[in-house]
Each structure stands twice: as structure tokens, then as C-alpha cells.
Structure 1
């Protein structure tokens, strides 16, 4: 069936702030050159949303701008960014040129075309809420849905978000996600290192901290500063920076460290090497990187006298 109008976005994006009226703009463009288009907007949540105007007429090949207004909300949305409960329906019908001047869309009872719009709650307020709760999945969904959210933060907002994330129990994973998605903080890596005492219980060196956040520039800087003596230093679990990088899948960090002379066959406290761990996880890309860097697949690396080759075979990653 022929479309009568085109919408600017199939998703109504609300920059949510608790207890504050928020607005979003939706544009309707007529695709009809011979008649006006009447429209009516319906919402599944009339107690939460207003639409201005809720009805109207669009002249041929013209457009109309709507304001979707979210009333001040006393609670955080139960789901975000996508809202499972909230949606809009745009109903449209062709109106003849002769009837357009006297047509009142409020009195129309027969609509011929419907367009469904979803609702998404986005913005820095909800991002900070998710980070503050340590909800990595929610943060990941937000940055995937609103790709520029982190790069558009002001310097103050970015630094505040960094401080919130750095206080979490899962701060390493959270900050790694944020940095990877575009969070920029003045001297980010340096700030991480200044607070490296927070990781003292892990026994992490500066290289461990830089690697944990996949900060390749900082890894390069530390190497150039002559940190070769710490290339193979081990944390409380016996992990070297290279082992940590390999376990997280950070190929560039692995290559930088190996290129500087780090031992690719260094063993963790339980005897595992980086290659053994990559093989046990079936991480073929990392296995290839490590082998290309000279890692020995025959090194015995567990209490069952198995090497990386053995564990890969036992886990079904290579044929017997």
C-alpha cells in the first residue's frame, strides 16, 4: 500500500531527566503531490505524554513538525534506552484538495495508513544512572543506541562520569567499556595511573593498569620511559601485563609488549601461559597473534601436564 507520509525517525528519542518536562521533535513529510494528508497521533501512555499538535493537515509534498512532550516523571524508566511500554501510532488518510479547507481531523473516523513509532529514553542523566549502579549491560545498550553520547559530553560531565565509574567494584570493566566507546577525559590514562594505588590489592603495576584499560598510548609511553624492568612483573595472581592483555583480547597491547621484549611464555601462578588461556577459550585470533610472536604451544601449562595444543584438542578446538 502506498505510503502517505515519511517520518524523520522511527524512534522518539527522549533526553530523560528525572522530574523535568522533556521534548522531542518528530517531522512528518507528505509523499503525496495531489492531495493533503490528515494525521492523528495516538500514544499508549497518555498519562505520560502530550503531543502538540495531536492532529493536523499536511499540504501536498509539505511537512509538519510535532512536539512530543514527556511530562515530569517521578521515577527512572523501568527499561531504557528502549521502552517496552511506550509507543506512538500515527494515523493518516488522504484528503481531497476541495475538502481540505473544511476538514477537521478530529472528526475523521476512518484512517487508511498507520505508522508505528517506538520510544527510547536516552541522554547523560540515564547514562550516569546506569554507570552509578554499575549496570554494564545498560551502559553498553545506551552507547550502542546513542553512539555519540560519550563524545558529546562536556569536559566536566566526562570527568564526573569517570570519577563515578572509578569508584565501582567493577570499575575496570566499566571504564574499559566507556573508554572504548569514546569517553575522553583530560589525561585519562594519567588519571588512571595516579589512582593505581586502588589496585594495590591486585598487585598491579602501572603497565597492568594501562593494559587493563586498553590504553595503548600509555603502554607505549611507559615502554619508552624505560619501564622494561616491569614488562614481566606479576600481579597477585601471577599475571604479567602481556598475560592480562591477552586474556582480555587486547591484541595491540600484546604486540606492543612483546615487541618491547616481554616474555610471551610467562606463567601465571597456576602455570597457565597466555597461549594456553587463549587456546582453552578458543580465541583463534589471539592464538595466532601469540604464535606469530613466538609463543611456544608445547609448554606444559597446567597440573595435568597439558600444553596449549593439548587443551585446545581437549576442548574440541582442533581435530584429534
Structure 2
């Protein structure tokens, strides 16, 4: 048995002809007594099909006094409560809409999803249909969608500027949806600057706030719509209106967070600087750092925003936050650290502690700032480093290259806990036979317990040349020897310059330690 017939389209013969726009066939079928009101599995009858296809000839045949005997026929509903005029409006068939209006079609009946003929026409951008429906009394206000949008909301969302222009004169400009969002807000959110201009020019509130206190200017900045930002500012939008419950978020924060640089540069011109360092506020620098947007930092720092902004989000400064984030060695994060350090950000103890765990960050900090000049600060840095002794293979070579005195690390903790490769490298900067007795004892125990040969080299006798450079190191200080220009002024042959800078030592241990570069 062939069951395919059971799965064919369930439309009636008249409906199929109406769908095809075949007026002659519709006429013949009606004369032969076929019903025009047989519904298919969607609840559609022939009138729905004719309206949806825009066949006005079929509509004229179907919308006769005979078929209109039942007042419900012209407003017959599908299973989704759609009427024939709804389909005609949705598909932009203006002639079909006019014809259905003549036979008293109800233009305000809502579908299951709260739509109506006007809302459907607006959604499709059918300007002429919208004009006809408004002229015939279509309800322009009120909630016309599940989300609570009005027809003006939908026009602004779609960016249909001509329809927005029509509706702006007859609709409520301040209609709000379930989240207190207005049509102007939607136009700004989706970048429809002509609609923003029309609505703002018609008197819509450019400083309206949604349930979460977001403003049209904030959402336009967040989405990077510069023309909308310009339009809103021209019509009086306030860039200093706080847009969150905690009273710190401004449009400039949104632009920084999403790295919309052109919008950010425009907002820098009009935003007050109270947010920069005031207690309880948040510098836009934090937003740029949190979202890892190095491009946002450039205009902010160029405009003079303080790299040492107020403490926020549990961090003492943006640099501390940046260093913790960039610990994953994210390229963008490292670039943010570089920008902040070059801009003069203060490097506190916590920032140094974070940098000591990551050789790339520490190298960046040292290349920009070098070793602290004050002895007390260098001692404090050494203590921070020793607290990260497990990472000594990372920080020790870099700190020594930068010129910190090796003697600052001559402490029991390093000799107790550091890897043998680290100790072998570190002891190259000392005459190990003249070390303090306490250190020698630690060293002897390490040698006795050692199962590898890295410390065995200490049993030999230092070369005279090595002893001479150690004496030079003791005389002039390691900071001087780390300075290439200083070494070049010493009364030494040029061939010895690399040697007195211990370049051979760094080169020798570059494979066993994480030495990124050897001093030039």
C-alpha cells in the first residue's frame, strides 16, 4: 500500500490554488462548491494563503459577500492566532492589506507571540503597509511582543529610519520593555545612528536608564558605535552619568573594556576626571587591564590618566592587577605591563613578587626601570626574591645581569633550598674558598648529599683571572660592572670587557638556567 498520500500537504484544493495565485482555478473550484474555509494542519484556510502570497485577485474572489456571511471568516485564526491581514502585512502586500481592510479585517488582533499586523509590517520594513495601517487606526503603542516591545522598539531595533520617523510622531517615545529599555536605547545599542537622530530630535530622553542603570551612551560605547555616540552627545547625553548600582561605571569604562579606541578618544574629551583617583570610583585603566586591552591603555595614558590609580577590586594599583593577569604569559597582558611601567607606574612589593615568578615580566621591569638605586630598596628586593627561592633559576640571572649585588643573596635560605644548578651559577660570582663559615657549612652538606656532579667543580682552584675580576667586582661594585659604558671607560683591553662583565659565566649556564639573554 502507498502511504505517501497521507503525508502530502493538507491544504484544501482552494487553498492550494490561492497559494499559487491561480484566480481562475479558485473561481472554478468555488463554483463547483468547494469550501473556502477548510483549514490545514497549521490552521490556515484559503484566505490566509491568498493574503500571504499577495494575490489580490484570489482575495477578491474569496472575500465576497457570500464568504463574508460569517463575520469571523475575514479574521479567521491559524493555530498561532495569525489572521489573513497579519500575513499580508508581514509580507508587505499593501494592496492585499487595503482590500482586507475594506471587508472589515481587524488590524489589532494579536498572535500567540503578542505580535500584530502593524508590528509584523514594521519588522519587515514595509513602509507603505505601515502607513496604511496607521491611517486606518492601528494601535501604535502598547506591548506588541513577548519581550514587551512596542512597534517603535521594533523599528529602532531593525534600523528602519523611515518607519521610525513615521512612528515617532504618533507613538510614545518613552515606551519601555521588561528591562526599562526605550526605542532610543535599542537604536544606540544596534548602531542605527539615523534612528538615534530622529528619536532624539523628536524629544526622546537621551539620558534614560534601563533597569541596570545602563544609558544609551553607555551601550553605544560598549558596542563601539561612534556615530551613535556623536549623535547622543550632540543631543545632550551626559557622559558623566553613572551607569551601575555601585556608582562608578561610565561610558568611558565600557569603551576601554571593549577596546573601542575611537569611541574612547571621543569620550576622553568630555568625561570628568573624578573617576581617575577618587575613593570609591574606578579608573578606566582598570577596565582596560581587566579585559586585557592594551590598545585602550594607550589613549588613556596619553591623555594623562595616572598609571598609579586608586586601589580597586582588591588590588593596590593597575600594575599589580596586570602582573597577576599576565602571569599566564599572555602577550596582551605582558604588553599592558610594559605600557604601565613605561608610563611610570610604581612597582610595589606585591608587583615585584609577581614579576619574580615570571622571567619575561621581570626582564621587562628591569629593562624599563633597572635595579633600585637606594640600597634599602635593593635589599628589600633581594628579600622578596629569596621568598621565591623555588623560582631562583628565573630571577637570579636577570637580577645579576641588571647589577644587583650578589652578596645580597648570600644567605642560608638560598644554599638550603635552591637547585644545585642555581648554586653552581651563583658561586661563580664569589671566591668560594672565602665564603662565610655558615655558608661553607651549608655548602659542604649540599656537596655531601649531592647525587649529581654540579657542585663538584667547587673542589678546584679558581683561576687567577677569575680571582682578579672578583677583586674588581668587590672594588667597583656590581652595578658599575653591569653598566657597559662604565666598563668601556676602565683602563682595560677591549677584549676583557666581556670577561669582567661575567658574560662567559652567563653564557656557560644559559642552558641549565632560564637565561633569556646574555649581557652585551
> Which one has a larger percent strand, Structure 1 or Structure 2?
1
> Which one has a larger percent helix, Structure 1 or Structure 2?
2
TM-score (norm 1): 0.43
TM-score (norm 2): 0.29
